[in-house]
Amino acid sequence: MKMTIGRTAMIGACAIASLSIAGNLYAHGNVTPQAVDTSALPDIEGGNDNWIEHNPYSGNPKAIEIGESAYGQNCARCHGLQAISGGIAPDLRYLELGDSGDEWFIERYHHGSSHDGKVYMPPMGDVLGQKAGWAIRAWLETQHTED
């Protein structure tokens, strides 16, 4: 019983901590990306710098595993744990599946988003690499929801 209460309290504390960190990052666009080891995944045709528009790892179990952890380290602080947004950034479970979703995903991942001189999302592509991006997308597909 004690254990359960402790755990719940800790999860709550973490959620609050990550929310305030996200608030900070949101304001300054200041993020230190965590490198992702994608050596177990097949190389992108034409090389990592040849940005393609469709996910080559869709349904690949290894990619999904790598993507889940890469998401947790690099995206969850803004987009929410398990891709469930707390409202700071869009809920990525609703991203369209298939080709048009892929294109939009990789565009944002690669270049980030800024308007009116403010960074809303820092560019991730050149720091984490294309393979990590598609691995995250492969995991996000498994979290997709319509409602």
Q: Which parts of this chain interact with ligand HEC (CB under 6 A)?
A: 25-26, 31, 74-75, 77-79, 89-90, 92, 95, 105, 108-109, 113, 120-122, 124, 136
CB of 49 to ligand HEC, least distance (A): 18
| 3-class SS of residue 44 | coil
CB of 48 to ligand HEC, least distance (A): 15
Q: What whole-number distance in Å separates Cα of residue 106 and Cα of residue 124?
A: 10
Q: What whole-number distance in Å separates Cα of residue 92 and Cα of residue 60?
A: 19
Query: Which tokens is 42 given?
Result: 């097949």
Nearer to ligand HEC, 7 or 19 (CB): 19
| 3-class SS of residue 29 | coil
CB of 103 to ligand HEC, least distance (A): 10
